[in-house]
Amino acid sequence: MNILLIHQYFLEDDDPGGSRWNELTRVWTGEGHNVTIVAGMMHYNGSEKKEEYKGRHFVKKRQGAVDVWRCHVSESYNKSFAGRLWGYFSFMFSSLYAGLFLAKGKFDAVVVTSPPLFVGISGYLIALFRRKPFVFEVRDLWPESAVATGVLTNGFIIKVAYGVERFIYRKARMINVLTPAFYSTLVEKNKVPDAKLIQISNAADFTLSDKLLHSFDREAFRKQHDLDGRFVITYVGAHGVANKLEQLLDAGLELADTPVLFLLIGQGMEKERLMAMAAERKVPNVRFLDSVPKQEVFKYILASEMGASVLKRVDTFKTVYSNKTFDYMSCKKPILMAIDGVSRKLVEDAGAGCYVEPENPAEYSRVIREYLAHPSLLQEQGESGYRYAKENYDREVLAHRYLKYIGGIIK
């Protein structure tokens, strides 16, 4: 098969962050399929373009076995919400041009992954022009999540966004959702026919974790990075409004009398404010690190006692899986799950950690002190989560399943 993928945040080889689609396309090309990608020039947590993209609107690159067209995204993207909206729209227009006029070849399907939601418009038009099936993937319920977190408040924009959402769901030949809650929402609220929906979730990438589990010198890494004698809880991911990471600062103060250290790795709009807040409040046990490549991320996870999955306490987030949860599982680390709903159920079903009520510092303290008192739980739950992910969320297995679904709609 020849597949055109439109993904604003498809990572470059040296980019930090979650690489789900990099791994999916690796599996697909390894099976002999061809994948061309239309992607943005801005990292989802970046503040500016790389030098090679400045002053340019389109750059063609080769990443492994895939051709990638890097397309213009406004550099206002991470400066404000209005800037982010313009970043979405600028990519919608640039990706449309690239998909229509630059990406050469006869494609069998056009796959679009969102957010941002508006890229579904360019994907639909490209598929219509090329007369190929349009597959739309929902990684996050947008605009619901933006409205729930208070990021999106303009009534007109909200109305337009919901209209775009309905249009895309109607026009897509097939829709992939990442969680069972998304599946239910689209069927019950958006009236999407059940036959149009599939579920290929986030998953664990065992190719890197299994290698490191057998070769990584944990003690040397901990000494090198001043982690010796600490009970390290690592959070990896975005530092944005939706994550509400000040709850980890609050928890740090509650646990100031313990060896607990919260290690926060990543970038985002809120990071500078969070760092200033930690300094002002004199939080002694929270450390901020910049984003690092995935191999280094896995080393930090393996050097930790636990991994944290954290979001703001709003009902919309009860429908999501945190991508990093699966990385923690693949590294045999129990999860401190501060997300209710399907994420909580995942961890409890897997016996892979413990739920803590979001934004409740006293509960953070109670739950973490339980682990400090019973350290055997760390290995037991880490092993349990690894087994569960291996059986149900192996990325290679799900990549093959995804490809089979796409093949089923190609005439």
**Span 289-318, pLDDT tens digits:** 998 888 899 999 999 999 999 999 999 899
Q: What is the pLDDT of residues 137-181, one digit of tens each?
A: 999 888 888 888 777 788 888 899 899 999 999 999 999 999 999
pLDDT digits (tens, 9 = 90+) for 358-401: 999 999 999 999 999 999 999 999 999 999 999 999 999 999 99
Tokens in use for 253? 């103060």
The tens digit of pLDDT for each residue in 334-358 reads: 999 999 999 999 999 999 999 999 9
Q: Whole-prediction pTM value?
A: 0.85
For the chain, where do the domains classified as CATH 3.40.50.2000 start and end?
A: 2-203+394-409, 206-392
- Label residue 40 by pLDDT band (50, 70, 90): very high
Selected from 3.40.50.2000, 3.30.2010.30, 3.40.50.720, 3.40.190.10, the CATH number assigned to the domain covering 2-203+394-409 reads: 3.40.50.2000
DSSP secondary structure of 157-180: HHHHHHHHHHHHHHH-SEEEESSH
Look at residues 247, 232, 207, 327 and name the one whose alpha carbon lies nearest to residue 289: 232
Q: Is 145 in a helix, a strand, or coil?
A: helix
| 3-class secondary-structure state, position 42 | coil
Q: For residue 150, which amino acid is it? A: G
Cα R_g (the chain), whole angstroms: 21
C-alpha span between 273 and 252 (Å, rounded): 17
Q: In angstroms, how far is the first alpha carbon of the chain from the final one?
A: 12
The 8-class DSSP code of residue 294 comes to H
**206-392: CATH superfamily:** Glycogen Phosphorylase B; (3.40.50.2000)
Tokens of 75: 């550099």
The answer on pLDDT for 18 being more than 70 is no
pLDDT in tens, 236-291: 999 998 999 999 999 999 999 999 999 999 998 899 999 999 999 999 999 999 98
What share of the chain in percent tops pLDDT 90? 79
Given a cut of 70, whether residue 17 has pLDDT beyond it is: no
The per-residue pLDDT for 47 is 65
Residue 78 has pLDDT above 80, yes or no: no
